[in-house]
Chain A
Amino acid sequence: DADVTQTPRNRITKTGKRIMLECSQTKGHDRMYWYRQDPGLGLQLIYYSFDVKDINKGEISDGYSVSRQAQAKFSLSLESAIPNQTALYFCATSEPTSGGAKDTQYFGPGTRLTVL
């Protein structure tokens, strides 16, 4: 079974609809992230969470909100979807190594969202 799962894998919706993307992990990591990937733009960070009580905005948080329901679950919501939010969305987790060094991030398979 995959360590980081995302649902749904694909979603087509209409402008103005509320959409929720879900991420679950079995790695036991405290840190979770949401990214979006657009062709030619690379990955951009939307939100990140260091634990269930610590949520932070990333580079492009406008139009998005998140909820950290538990250590293992981190959801991304689009309150009123618009066409330029059409993208590939990735969830990731990480855990710092001892000594403060930053550890690798583990990515889910992605959700392809299309807003018409």
Chain B
Amino acid sequence: KQEVTQIPAALSVPEGENLVLNCSFTDSAIYNLQWFRQDPGKGLTSLLLIQSSQREQTSGRLNASLDKSSGRSTLYIAASQPGDSATYLCAVPPGGSEKLVFGKGTKLTVNP
């Protein structure tokens, strides 16, 4: 059974810092890995999707990497801003499955 773990559960940083969020998964047979952002009281917004054949994806100040063999992904946020404060979730569809298995998220607070 696929399990997804995110460390740390919460992170507080001063504005301007570069930071890394971690995601690990137990079954490397995945089609892709997605990173989502969730704001309080709101739904999830997809940030980046990395296909299994890719090693990284970039969008603005965000860079996500994927190492299937080790079962790990990282989300790098450059020059963090208070507006980046949210919960970040990673999710994978287990091999052959349409269903997403989510981590419990990392709650990020960026202090002005």
Task: Using CB atoms and an 8 Å cutoff, list the residues of chain A in contact with chain B.
Answer: 4, 31, 33, 40-45, 48, 50, 58-59, 90, 92, 94, 101-110, 112
Asked if A48 and B99 make an inter-chain contact with CB atoms under 8 angstroms apart, the answer reads yes
A contact patch SS: strand
Query: Which A residues are in CB contact (< 8 Å) with B105?
Result: 42
Query: Number of contact residues on B: which range applies?
Result: 20 to 34
**Closest CB in chain A relative to B82 CB, distance in Å:** 22
* Interface, chain B (partner A; CB < 8 A): 4, 31-32, 34, 36, 41-46, 49, 51, 89, 91, 93, 98-100, 102-105
- Give A100's nearest chain B residue, CB to CB: B31
Q: If A42-B105, A105-B34 touch, does A90 touch B44 (CB 8 Å cutoff)?
A: yes
Other contacts beyond A105-B34, A107-B46, A110-B42: 10, CB < 8 A:
A33-B100, A43-B100, A50-B98, A58-B99, A90-B43, A101-B32, A106-B46, A107-B43, A109-B42, A110-B43
Chain B positions within 8 Å of A31 at CB level: 98
Find out whether the CB atom of B42 lies under 8 angstroms from the CB atom of A102: no
Closest residue of A by beta carbon distance from B99 = A45
Give Cα distance in the complex from A40 to B44, angstroms: 16
